[in-house]
Structure 1
Amino acid sequence: MPKFMRPYIEGIVDVIGDGHCGFRAISEHVGLTEESHVMVRRALIKELKEHRNKYIEVNASEDRYNYILDGLLPPKNPSSFAPPDKWLTFPDMGHIVASCYNRLVVEMTTLDIGVSENFFPLRGAPPINPKSNMICLALIPNHFVLLSLKDGCPLPPSSTEWRNHRSDEAKT
């Protein structure tokens, strides 16, 4: 994590590092077990398919939409190591996770890996208690962990795609 963020981290859940780690971390956050990572994939696929036109618009093409959908599909053997094309990816899947679970999703990482960003749900009213409903995922080289952050911690900027594609209700 960026050094300035370390004092704001309350806890870390280090999930199994088998290529399903991003989905395992989400599963842990929503009250399931790590082994429920396939259920998370299915929920995200449902979200993506039910709002297909919006996600094609957000991702700027049907080809990119299909690439993301294929990445969410579980590998043939979901109990084995997931190949890189089946990993949770940001920013591709940030809004899908946020909208599916109606939670702010924070991706924290270092600049040598990527960009830290917030992903808000694209539609619907914001969660009543954003802190308890925030999924904070930290990306370290080729692995996600689930973070708990202290009150008052700084957060990265919001995704520009959210500003461009949010509903009027989500804007509140």
Structure 2
Amino acid sequence: MIKELRLRQGVYHGMYGTNTHYEKVLQALHLAPNEFATEEKWLCVPDMDHIVATMYQIVFVTLSNRGGATYFPLTGPVLHLSEQQIICLLVVNNNHWVKALISSDFPLPTVNPQWMYHCTVEACGWQLPYLDRMTLFNELYRKENVDIHKIDGIINLAED
């Protein structure tokens, strides 16, 4: 992830707004072998989401009871839909993230606005196959008292 951050340093500087923020993210990615990962070295959402999506060329989704966001790669060609992979992280106990297994038609939160401003022309088509799913998510989420963990299509982590 360090390589990705450095490779597109100008893009990430623009996203983070300051050199201090960029350096904080860069330092968080540096972990010596056998070093214990303290909290400042954890994957930081939303600071690192674009890096993950771009580096691995995946659709990266984060969900919590406060909403969520979808992150597409900032660069690179749009993969055929059958080759695209969605990785979804779900917040648990308001202090850590776990990978959630979602169905192929699970509603997706809207794309993070930073992506729209910083993606390349080549990558801008990533969102097209997911527009209906993002619209459905917004419709469901706008209803009062919607618990993101109970939307059909996500596996309840509390059940076996």
Tell me what 2:21 maps to: 64
Matches of 1:158 and 1:93 in 2, distance apart?
Answer: 15
The superposition leaves residues 4-51 of structure 1 with CA deviations (integer Å, 9 ceiling, x where unpaired) of xxxxxxxxxxxxxxxxxxxxxxxxxxxxxxxxxxxxxxxx11110111
1:70 partner SS? helix
Q: CA RMSD in A?
A: 1.8
Matches of 2:2 and 2:44 in 1, distance apart?
Answer: 14
1:137 aligns with 2:137: no
Q: 2:71 aligns with which of 99, 104, 119?
A: 119
1:106 aligns with 2:61: yes
After superposing the two structures, state which structure 1 stretch, 116-125 or 139-148, moved more.
139-148
- Unmatched tracts of structure 1, length 5 or more: 1-43
Tell me what 1:73 maps to: 30
1:169 partner SS? coil
The superposition leaves residues 85-141 of structure 1 with CA deviations (integer Å, 9 ceiling, x where unpaired) of 111111100100000001110011122xxx410011111122323685111111212
The superposition leaves residues 52-76 of structure 1 with CA deviations (integer Å, 9 ceiling, x where unpaired) of 1111112112111101011111167
Tell me what 1:166 maps to: 119
Matches of 2:83 and 2:76 in 1, distance apart?
Answer: 17
- Unmatched tracts of structure 2, length 5 or more: 126-160
Greater C-alpha Rg = 2
RCO higher in structure (CA 8 A, sep ≥6): 1
Matches of 1:97 and 1:123 in 2, distance apart?
Answer: 12
Tell me what 1:47 maps to: 4
Tell me what 2:129 maps to: none
Report deviation, 1:147.
1.4
2:27 partner SS? helix
Paired residues in the alignment total: 124
Report deviation, 1:156.
0.6
Matches of 1:63 and 1:161 in 2, distance apart?
Answer: 18
